[in-house]
Amino acid sequence: MLHAPYQRYHRLHVYHLDTVDLPDLADPDLIGVWLEDGSPILFFHQAKDELIASLCRDHHCQVIYQADLDYTDWESGQDIGPFTVDGLTVAPVWEEGPADIRLDPSVIFGTGFHPSTRLCLETLGKYCRTPELAISSLLDLGTGTGLLAIAAAKLGVEEITALDHNPLACAVARKNIALNDCTGRITIRQGDLRQEEPDTNVDLVVANLYPTLLAELFARPSFWRGKLYLISGFIPAMEEELLAALPLEKMRMLERRRSDRWCLWVLAPKLG
């Protein structure tokens, strides 16, 4: 996340270590620590070779991977700037000018520039603005930066739970929720969907996740307690496998949308 004196991201200095036991770091150049299968990936604004070497000596670990890259390379070559979807303008915190949502994107997925996140944002606006649906509660699985949860709050959803497995994503989402004055409406929870079953008894479940996890969730009867589902995070080549995992005796597809090869399904329980 951004802390003084930094006001935006330029370079990312990345160190992936093969340890599960790392102390809290108070380095002023630290952006955050991303946990990948229990091992830390450290992101800094500046090169930290000496610090990393010291950590490796003290904790008997090694560097698995190291990189120095431009921030736009981390974002698939895209310069992060303001954009508007369905009347909601989203802008990074360093951009001036009016915006409905301001984000510190950090190094977390879900900035709105990936087609699947943008597709979710567009579809979320459509269904939250449908009066007869009266969407007042929402579960956001894999919240990332918190963008979709914040957008839902801005669209009038009163009670939102946002879940992510990664501690850094949860910290970034909490910061963004506070930046957008949505703290009273959104609860952030850290949890592993592979090991726990979130309460899906809500008006809308948003699941922008990788396909293998989606298939695992589809197999759980407890996953299908919601009134409406936005499912994304997959390309057309993955649809056949996901359709095979979908309980078609319980669920019906209201809409299938696609953007730049990425797909989104809108699902609801079958009537009767």
Which residues constitute the domain of residue 30? Answer: 11-74
pLDDT tens per residue across span 225-271:
999 999 999 999 999 999 999 999 999 999 999 988 899 999 999 98
> 89 lies in a domain?
no
Q: Final residue of a domain: which of 21, 49, 74?
A: 74
- Residues 153, 265: one domain? yes
**DSSP code string of the chain:** ---TT--S--EEEEEEES-S-------TTEEEEEEETTEEEEEESS--HHHHHHHHHHHT--EEEEEEEEHHHHTTTPPP--EEETTEEEEETT--S--SEEE--TT-S-SS-SHHHHHHHHHHHHHHT-GGG---EEEEES-TTSHHHHHHHHTT--EEEEEES-HHHHHHHHHHHHHTT-TTTEEEEE--TTT------SSEEEEE--HHHHHHHHT-GGGGGSS-EEEEEE-GGGHHHHHHHS-TTTEEEEEEEEETTEEEEEEEEPP-
> 82 lies in a domain?
no
> 3 lies in a domain?
no
pLDDT tens per residue across span 3-47:
999 999 999 999 999 987 888 898 999 999 998 888 999 999 999
- Residues 23, 158: one domain? no
| pLDDT interval class at 78 (50, 70, 90) | confident
For the entire predicted model, the pTM comes to 0.94
Is pLDDT above 80 for 86?
yes
- Residues 47, 111: one domain? no
- Residues 60, 125: one domain? no
Is pLDDT above 90 for 75?
no
What's 130's domain CATH number? 3.40.50.150
- Residues 112, 227: one domain? yes
Taking residues 127-152, report their average pLDDT: 96
Is pLDDT above 80 for 67?
yes
